[in-house]
Chains A and B, each alone.
Chain A
């Protein structure tokens, strides 16, 4: 039979309810918006490459940083993490699909709709320009009269609804579709963390939705929630946004932790050190993440005792995060490490994320926060967490799971180029921004005067951004080149231990012919090593 005509292939993808295809749709959407958000960043770095430049108009620059932040968070990291989850969770628990396949498809299409709506703002009189946290009263009608902020709020409502839909599906899938023998203490850590993360999404996203509905009431119906001229309170917006916004930071980073917790053990040839601690510290992070939002608001006069409590909580949340870093590092110790590209990114994640964690800890100290808030130190900190942390983990995950998803290995020499260009470019771009922040350069201002060191540090940053951007292009090129010409992967190219590697690469529609018996945390190890299975030597967990 001749291959199906192209229209039919399009219809298959448009109407699919298969978790693997939906996962791929999520990931491709994330990849597309990664390029878009990256170009927005490049436009900003071009504008900042020299003092007093007029490459971008101030209004355009405001739109760029607003869309860059919103895009990278809601249209890149969220869909990428949900995409990996939707693809991997059913495979990792030995199921044939998510609990609600059609709901799964709905979640994807709602997410895509949110992205389309957000970008439709460019055609409707201008993109939103009030920053990704859209502080009132700037985001209110008198100060942002064009429709950009309405599109921003409506787009985010849809994206948030998509996340809630995915989270509901994850919880039910993990709760009810696990293979026989896969107890909660034998779940792969990626699944464990997805479960906790889903509950975090369910609890945090509605705070954003409430704030967005209130903002839309203000803008469209002339209500007064955040309008100080009529007794409303801009500070209420800040509270509501960050009650969502700080848990959101952990919503973004926890699945990255989950990926790292799968990849480091496989390439160290050791089970993870302290599985229980990694799992429990995830719960601690999820719980504490609702008690730290005010550290985004230390510059608001809220009272010394009040902010001290939040300063203490913000330091406290570094403890469970530090425990995780310790566990990953201890997994490396004494392992026979294989430096594949996936492992390189995972180890780089450990280092870069730790730098971001430490600079974050500095912000928990109120006087340091007062000095550095709204400077480039914040930009440096958040990118060490968001790019050095989350994006590096996503790169690691891509190199690790691409063979499962496509049946082809990603090209390793290209992977090295990808890795080194991204690492060097990233650190050049953002390390100097710590110094610029300490020198007092404010974020979100479209240009700067020719002060001592400012020009040269900004030039280094822009130069780094070019290398980073090219490194990211190498990644995109590697994806397409390896899809066409990559070496055949086989079912289990990494000699790994979790159930997804027992399925074919790519897995057939129903995933498994036979789900291997699950008697420990490493069912495939048990299968390959009947002489020393985990359930005999490690008690099975």
Chain B
């Protein structure tokens, strides 16, 4: 069962990888037209902190697969939640500057890409919350499988952070 579940998740993540590749490619396709707005409005500092939280959550996720201690799962949910709060505050700041999904190409590409990623984090948190409620002996295969998803979502964020933030601001 373990092998089957992991293979199934790997195949699903292959399709997810193509999905995010296409969205990132769309961001890059419109980069020249949206660069000025992006450079004037994105902030590196806060987002770097939230990025660190998300990366730390991969560590706690990994600990959860190795130790089977519930606290590591709870920690992962917490760190994922902090990331989403951070993303929400970033959105709010941009909305106050009248940058929305319909304002221009930057808004269109930025909110679609980061929004769909945020949705994946949210789904991950929901899955982990379900795992928290499961009995330990039923958990291990599920935790290992969901962990693959969580690592994947983190890796996608690293790519988004590098292309959307670092490439624009550094």
Contact = CB atoms under 8 A, between A and B. Distances in A.
A210 B29 contact: no
B102 to A, nearest CB: 4
Contacts, number: 95
B101 A164 contact: no
B23 to A, nearest CB: 5
A240 B102 contact: no
B26 A224 contact: no
A230 B16 CA distance: 29
Interface stretch (B6-14, B43-51, B69-77, B161-169): B6-14
Contacts of B14: 199, 202-203
B22 A207 contact: yes
A371 interface: no
Given A172-B4, A224-B104, A231-B105, A206 B16 contact: yes
Nearest to A217: B112
A210 B101 contact: no
A236 B8 contact: no
A210 B19 contact: yes
Interface in B1-51: 3-4, 7-8, 11-12, 14-19, 22-23, 26, 29-30, 33
Contact of B7 (A175, A211, A240): A175
Interface string B94-135: 000000011011011101100010000000000000000000
B33 A223 contact: no
A417 B4 CA distance: 46
B4 A164 contact: no
Given A223-B112, A232-B108, A207 B18 contact: yes
Interface size class of A (residues with CB under 8 A): 35 or more
A453 to B, nearest CB: 45
B32 to A, nearest CB: 10
Contacts of B102: 221-224
A231 B104 contact: yes
A175 B109 CA distance: 38
Contacts of A198: 11
A209 B19 contact: yes
Contacts of B29: 233, 236
Nearest to B16: A206
A231 B34 CA distance: 10
A168 interface: yes
Contacts of A203: 14-15, 18
B26 A214 contact: yes
Contacts of B12: 164, 168, 202
| Most A Cβ at <10 Å: residue of B3, B18, B33 | B18
B101 A99 contact: no
Contacts of A209: 19
A210 B104 contact: no
A172 B111 CA distance: 35
A230 B104 contact: yes
Contact of A225 (B7, B11, B15, B108): B108
Given A176-B3, A176-B7, A225-B26, A205 B101 contact: no
A99 B4 contact: yes
Contact of A224 (B11, B22, B105): B105
Nearest to A201: B15
A209 B26 CA distance: 13
Nearest to B29: A236
Nearest to A167: B11
A222 B33 CA distance: 18
A224 B108 contact: yes
A205 B23 CA distance: 14
B16 to A, nearest CB: 7
B112 A172 contact: no
Contacts of B26: 210, 214, 225, 236, 240
A210 B24 CA distance: 10
B11 A168 contact: yes
Contacts of B17: 206
B8 A210 contact: no
A154 to B, nearest CB: 16
Given A209-B19, A217-B108, 7 more contacts: A171-B8, A207-B18, A214-B23, A217-B112, A222-B102, A223-B112, A243-B22
17 contacts: A100-B4, A103-B8, A164-B12, A167-B11, A167-B15, A172-B4, A172-B11, A175-B7, A176-B4, A202-B14, A206-B15, A206-B18, A223-B108, A224-B108, A230-B104, A233-B30, A236-B26
